[in-house]
C-alpha cells in the first residue's frame, strides 16, 4: 500500500509503498477514506512525541471501510466506520467503568502503531468504532476521532459546561474551533483567543460571541473585563505555557480550566500561575479523548443539525500534501484543518 512515512524528523514525509497491514484478531483492516492532519501529528513529525520514531506512519483522525476482519471482530467487510484515536481494550476496569479513554491497555494508531496516512490501517479492538452516519462525508467524519470527540468530552463531562456560562477557548486550531462550536451548541457564551486575526474572524463568522487577539499578551485581562469578572470555564487548546496561563488567569473565582491541548516535549513541564489557582479556588481538569459510549450523544447533536462541522475542514488534500501542512504548523496556521482524502500519492 501507499503510505506517508517519517524518515527524518522535520522533513517531508516519504511517500512509499510499504507492506499492507496484517489484520488484528480483535479488529479490522480499514481502507482509509479520510484522515485529518492534526497538530498532535506535528508533535510526532517534529520528534517531540516520545512514541513516534523514524519509520512511523502518522494519522489518528480517520474513518474508513472494512476490507478484512479478525476472528473476534465486531464489524464486517463493507462497514463504513469512524475510529476514535484511542482504541481501548474493552475488558479492564477503566473500560468496564465507562472511562475507556483512560484504559491502560489502549493502543493508538498514528502514535503507538502505524496510523492512517496510508491506504490501509489495521485497527485492533474494533468495538471502539462506530458506524459512519449517512449524513456525514468521510472528510467531515475524520475529525470525529480526535478534535470533535475530545472537545465534546472535555466540555460535557470534565467541565460540565452549562447553558449561559462563559467559556473561553485559547487557540482556535482544530480542537479549539471544535470546542467553540460545541460550546455554542450547548448554549454557552463563547470567547475565543488566537494570535491569527483570520482565525478570529472565521470563529466570529461561525457564531462565537467574542474574539480576542492575544498577540499583546493581554487576553486574560480582556476576558475578565468582557465577562464581568472572568470566564466560568476555560479551554486550553494548544498545549503551551502562554495559553495555559492565559486560561487560568481569565477565569472567574471557582472557574474550571480544561487542558485539552497536548503538552509534550518542551512543554510537557511548564511554569504555570499556581497563585491564580489558589487565590481563585480554581479547578484544573485534564481531558484526553472520549469514552466510546459518548459517541451517541455527539452524533445525535450532529444529526439534529445542532452543529455544522463543515467549517472545520478547510481543504481536502492528497497523501503527499500532508508534509506541507506539517511544515506550516511550525508557526501559526490559517483557519480550519486539512483532511487527506486522496491516497493515490
Residue 86 and residue 99: Cα distance in Å, rounded? 11
Any contact of residue 34 with Zn ion (CB under 5 A)?
no
- Least distance in angstroms from the C-beta of 32 to Zn ion: 15
Could you write out the DSSP letters of every residue in 220-285? HHHHHHHHTS-EEEEEE-S-SHHHHHHHHHTEEEEEEEEE-S---GGGSS----HHHHHHTT-EEE
Alpha helices in the chain (DSSP H): 39-45, 93-96, 138-142, 147-153, 174-186, 197-205, 219-227, 241-249, 274-279, 295-303, 322-328
Any contact of residue 29 with Zn ion (CB under 5 A)?
no
Any contact of residue 340 with Zn ion (CB under 5 A)?
no
- Least distance in angstroms from the C-beta of 220 to Zn ion: 26
Bridge-based pairing of strands 28-36 and 80-82 is unpaired
Measured from the CB atom, the residue of 40 and 333 that comes closer to Zn ion is 40
Any contact of residue 87 with Zn ion (CB under 5 A)?
no
Among 4, 57, 87, 95, binds Zn ion (CB under 5 A): 95
Among 27, 29, 30, 40, binds Zn ion (CB under 5 A): 40
What string marks each residue from 116 to 155 as x (binds Zn ion by CB under 5 A) or -? ------------------------------x---------
Any contact of residue 159 with Zn ion (CB under 5 A)?
no
Measured from the CB atom, the residue of 37 and 195 that comes closer to Zn ion is 37
- Least distance in angstroms from the C-beta of 226 to Zn ion: 29
Angle (CA) 209 213 216, round 5°: 145
Any contact of residue 99 with Zn ion (CB under 5 A)?
no
- Least distance in angstroms from the C-beta of 146 to Zn ion: 3
- Residues 27 and 122: beta-carbon distance below 8 Å: yes
Among 38, 87, 237, 309, binds Zn ion (CB under 5 A): 38
Q: Any idea which residue has 522535520 for its cell?
A: 10
Measured from the CB atom, the residue of 61 and 119 that comes closer to Zn ion is 61
Measured from the CB atom, the residue of 126 and 165 that comes closer to Zn ion is 126
- What does residue 215 show for φ and ψ, rounded to 5 degrees? -60, -30
Amino acid at each position: 500500500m501507499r503510505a506517508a512515512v517519517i524518515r527524518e524528523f522535520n522533513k517531508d514525509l516519504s511517500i512509499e509503498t510499504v507492506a499492507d497491514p496484517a489484520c488484528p484478531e480483535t479488529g479490522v483492516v480499514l481502507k482509509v477514506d479520510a484522515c485529518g492532519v492534526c497538530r498532535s501529528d506535528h508533535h510526532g513529525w517534529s520528534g517531540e512525541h516520545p512514541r513516534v520514531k523514524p519509520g512511523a506512519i502518522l494519522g489518528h483522525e480517520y474513518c474508513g471501510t472494512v476490507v478484512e476482519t479478525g476472528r473476534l471482530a465486531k464489524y464486517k467487510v463493507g462497514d463504513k466506520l469512524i475510529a476514535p484515536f484511542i482504541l481501548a481494550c474493552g475488558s479492564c476496569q477503566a473500560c468496564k467503568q465507562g472511562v475507556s479513554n483512560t484504559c491502560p491497555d489502549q493502543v493508538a494508531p498514528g502514535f503507538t502503531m502505524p496510523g492512517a496516512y496510508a491506504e490501509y490501517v489495521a485497527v485492533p479492538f474494533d468495538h471502539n468504532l462506530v458506524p459512519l452516519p449517512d449524513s456525514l462525508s468521510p472528510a467531515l467524519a475524520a475529525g470525529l476521532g480526535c478534535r470533535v470527540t475530545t472537545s465534546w468530552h472535555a466540555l460535557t463531562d470534565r467541565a460540565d459546561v452549562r447553558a449561559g456560562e462563559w467559556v473561553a477557548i485559547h487557540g482556535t486550531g482544530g480542537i479549539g474551533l471544535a470546542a467553540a462550536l460545541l460550546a455554542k451548541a450547548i448554549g454557552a457564551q463563547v470567547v475565543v483567543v488566537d494570535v491569527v486575526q483570520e482565525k478570529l474572524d472565521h470563529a466570529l463568522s461561525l457564531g462565537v460571541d467574542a474574539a480576542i487577539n492575544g498577540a499583546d499578551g493581554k487576553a486574560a485581562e480582556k476576558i475578565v473585563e468582557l465577562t464581568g469578572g472572568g470566564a466560568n470555564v476555560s479551554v486550553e487548546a494548544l498545549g503551551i505555557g502562554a495559553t495555559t496561563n492565559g486560561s487560568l488567569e481569565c477565569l472567574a473565582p471557582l472557574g474550571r480550566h480544561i487542558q485539552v491541548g497536548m503538552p509534550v516535549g518542551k512543554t510537557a513541564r511548564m511554569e504555570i500561575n499556581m497563585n491564580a489557582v489558589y487565590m481563585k479556588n480554581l479547578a484544573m481538569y485534564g481531558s484526553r479523548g472520549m469514552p466510546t459510549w459518548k459517541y451517541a450523544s455527539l452524533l445525535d447533536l450532529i444529526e439534529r443539525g445542532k452543529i455544522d462541522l463543515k467549517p472545520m475542514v478547510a481543504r481536502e488534500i492528497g497523501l503527499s500534501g500532508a508534509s506541507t501542512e506539517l511544515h506550516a504548523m511550525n508557526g501559526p496556521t490559517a483557519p480550519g484543518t486539512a483532511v487527506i482524502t486522496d491516497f493515490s500519492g
